[in-house]
């Protein structure tokens, strides 16, 4: 296996640190628009080399993949570049993996009730081409989406006979210490966070399947719910957020309802609402003295790089899926399947903060399963299309076990 990793930011650099300890691949090319950043990420192992690439160009991605004989292209940049990297991998004859899917577009007349272009629609539209070529595009294989989808598949196969709801719940008790106490500093890409939090959230219900396939939307930050997260994190208020799991899980896992709720916190919600009110969430460029600039890019540039926050972060992050329904004997059951990472541990063991590390470990595991032939397939598939047990076993072998709580 020869891997082209596109993106050497927080997640990409964490990927190299994790993959450097495994032996299932021959070579990894770490590519980024910033060659210096790619070189830093590639320093972890002699099997890694660095390259420069423009991720917005499918032709550039394809050329680099061909040059290095890449068998797999892993997308570790923000989702605005999904389709160029996805198409570039196809042009190069390589398989493809990502951790976020192609962007959505709200319904033009009814954005808070009906879906428009959904997350991943542009990729699923090309599924037949990938399947006909015998090649695999494994989409949404980060932590959320990714591990949460694997856990949903595990619950359906081994714990439940009937599922009422797959409720993905993400929360943390993380703080970032500034000079004068805790500071506002998102621990993941603010570009991606703005995208998923300010877009209309998507919910899926089987009972509505005759209309828009069962998917419908609400207004941002709706349906607040206080969820008790494990391992000392505690109660966190979670709200509806647009996320890929709701678009992926119903395709392969039988359930009556699928939701995603994120524990943002009141301060973060207020900041996002303010950015939207001021138009600073926009991605289209505006004219300013000296040229044109995207307001969202300006916001991202003004905030600290999430990858640089590890030494100042305290606490844990948790990702998981709360499953309700009936157990294998037909009795009522509610189970939370989850994965917790302590920032102190991930910094000590790998030198990367817990949010990016928790995202990056999952494509490493997926690539190892593909390299060994444990996972295989063709077409555009989500993580829940595969057997969950080998993945969860490897997660534990990597030293970061998953958990299960009966509620």
Q: What is the DSSP string of 318-371?
A: EEEEEEEEEETTS-EEEEEEEEEEEHHHHHHHHSS-HHHHHHHHHHHHHHHHHH
- pLDDT value at 183 more than 80: no
pLDDT digits (tens, 9 = 90+) for 37-56: 999 999 999 999 999 999 99
> What is the structure's pLDDT at 280?
87
CA distance 183 to 132: 51
Could you give the 3-state DSSP secondary structure of residue 77?
coil
C-alpha neighbours within 13 Å on the C-beta side of residue 254: 8
pLDDT above 90 covers what percent of the chain?
81
Average pLDDT over every residue of 267-289:
86
Average pLDDT over every residue of 176-197:
76
Model confidence at 188, pLDDT cuts 50, 70, 90, reads low
Q: Which helix (H) or strand (E) holds 398?
A: none
Average pLDDT over every residue of 398-404:
97
pLDDT digits (tens, 9 = 90+) for 115-146: 999 999 999 999 999 999 999 999 999 999 99
Strand spans (E) along 1-46: 2-6, 27-32
> What is the structure's pLDDT at 166?
98
Give CA angle at 241 (271, 32), nearest 5°: 80
> What is the structure's pLDDT at 153?
98
Model confidence at 235, pLDDT cuts 50, 70, 90, reads very high
Task: Enter the tokens of residue 137.
Answer: 């595009």
Average pLDDT over every residue of 250-258:
98
- pLDDT value at 277 more than 90: no
Ordered by start, the domain boundaries in the chain are: 2-98, 147-352
- pLDDT value at 162 more than 80: yes
Other beta carbons less than 10 A from residue 177's beta carbon: 14
Residue closest to 227 by CA, chosen among 320, 333, 358: 320
Which residues, 6 or more positions from 372, have their beta carbon under 8 angstroms from its beta carbon? 24
Residue 396 near residue 389 (C-beta atoms within 8 A): no
Residue closest to 233 by CA, chosen among 162, 289, 315: 315
Q: Any idea which of 216-220, 231-235, 262-266, 385-389 has the lowest mean pLDDT?
A: 262-266
Task: Enter the tokens of residue 2.
Answer: 């020869």
CA distance 145 to 168: 9
pTM: 0.93
CA distance 137 to 143: 17
More confident residue, 85 or 272: 85
Task: Enter the tokens of residue 34.
Answer: 């910033």
pLDDT above 70 covers what percent of the chain?
99
> What is the structure's pLDDT at 306?
77
Mean of pLDDT over the chain: 94
CA distance 375 to 387: 8
Residue 260 near residue 119 (C-beta atoms within 8 A): no
Model confidence at 233, pLDDT cuts 50, 70, 90, reads very high
> What is the structure's pLDDT at 138?
98
Residue 193 near residue 78 (C-beta atoms within 8 A): no
Of the options 3.40.50.720, 3.40.50.920, 3.40.50.300, 2.30.30.100, the CATH number for the domain spanning 2-98: 3.40.50.720
CA distance 155 to 131: 27
Q: Any idea which of 179-183, 289-293, 390-394 has the lowest mean pLDDT?
A: 179-183
DSSP state of 158: I
Average pLDDT over every residue of 225-230:
96
> What is the structure's pLDDT at 303?
80
- pLDDT value at 160 more than 90: yes
> What is the structure's pLDDT at 98?
98
Average pLDDT over every residue of 194-223:
93
* Alpha helix (H) residue ranges in 208-265: 244-252
Task: Enter the tokens of residue 309.
Answer: 């926050």
- pLDDT value at 189 more than 80: no
Dihedral-angle region of residue 51 (phi above 0 means left; psi in -120 to 50 means alpha; beta otherwise): beta
CATH fourth-level superfamily of 147-352: Dihydrodipicolinate Reductase; domain 2 (3.30.360.10)
> What is the structure's pLDDT at 194?
84
Q: Which helix (H) or strand (E) holds 265?
A: none
- pLDDT value at 247 more than 70: yes
Average pLDDT over every residue of 63-78:
97
Q: Any idea which of 41-50, 58-67, 309-318 has the lowest mean pLDDT?
A: 309-318
Model confidence at 248, pLDDT cuts 50, 70, 90, reads very high
Residue 5 near residue 76 (C-beta atoms within 8 A): yes
Model confidence at 313, pLDDT cuts 50, 70, 90, reads confident
> What is the structure's pLDDT at 288?
83
């Amino acid at each position: 296996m020869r891997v082209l990793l596109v993106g050497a930011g927080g997640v990409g650099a964490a990927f190299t640190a994790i993959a450097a300890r495994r032996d299932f691949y021959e070579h990894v090319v770490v590519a980024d628009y910033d060659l210096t950043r790619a070189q830093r990420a590639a320093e972890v192992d002699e099997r890694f080399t660095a390259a420069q690439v423009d991720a917005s160009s499918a032709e550039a991605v394809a050329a680099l993949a061909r040059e290095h004989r890449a068998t797999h292209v892993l997308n570790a940049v923000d989702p605005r570049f999904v389709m160029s990297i996805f198409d570039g991998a196809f042009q190069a004859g390589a398989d493809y993996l990502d951790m976020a899917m192609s962007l959505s577009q709200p319904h033009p007349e009814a954005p808070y009730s009906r879906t428009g272009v959904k997350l991943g629609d542009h990729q699923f539209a090309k599924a037949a081409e990938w399947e006909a070529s015998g090649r695999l595009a494994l989409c949404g294989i980060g932590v959320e989406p990714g591990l949460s989808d694997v856990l949903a598949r595990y619950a359906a196969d081994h714990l439940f006979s009937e599922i009422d709801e797959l409720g993905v719940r993400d929360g943390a008790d993380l703080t970032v210490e500034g000079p004068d106490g805790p500071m506002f500093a998102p621990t993941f890409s603010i570009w991606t966070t703005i995208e998923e939090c300010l877009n209309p959230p998507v919910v899926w219900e089987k009972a509505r399947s005759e209309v828009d396939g069962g998917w419908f939307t609400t207004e941002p930050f709706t349906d607040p719910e206080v969820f008790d997260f494990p391992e000392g994190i505690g109660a966190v208020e979670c709200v509806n957020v647009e996320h890929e799991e709701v678009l992926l899980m119903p395709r392969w896992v039988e359930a009556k309802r699928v939701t995603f709720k994120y524990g943002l916190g009141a301060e973060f919600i207020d900041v996002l609402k303010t950015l939207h009110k001021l138009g600073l969430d926009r991605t289209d460029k505006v004219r300013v003295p000296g040229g044109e600039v995207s307001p969202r890019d300006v916001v991202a540039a003004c905030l600290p790089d999430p990858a640089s926050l590890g030494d100042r972060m305290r606490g844990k992050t948790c990702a998981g899926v709360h499953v309700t329904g009936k157990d294998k004997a037909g009795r009522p059951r509610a189970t939370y399947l989850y994965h917790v990472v302590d920032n102190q541990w991930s910094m000590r063991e790998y030198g990367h903060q817990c949010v990016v590390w928790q995202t990056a470990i999952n494509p490493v595991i997926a690539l190892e399963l593909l390299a060994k032939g444990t996972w295989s397939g063709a077409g555009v598939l989500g993580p829940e299309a595969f057997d969950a047990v080998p993945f969860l076993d490897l997660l534990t072998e990597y030293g970061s076990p998953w958990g299960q709580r009966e509620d």
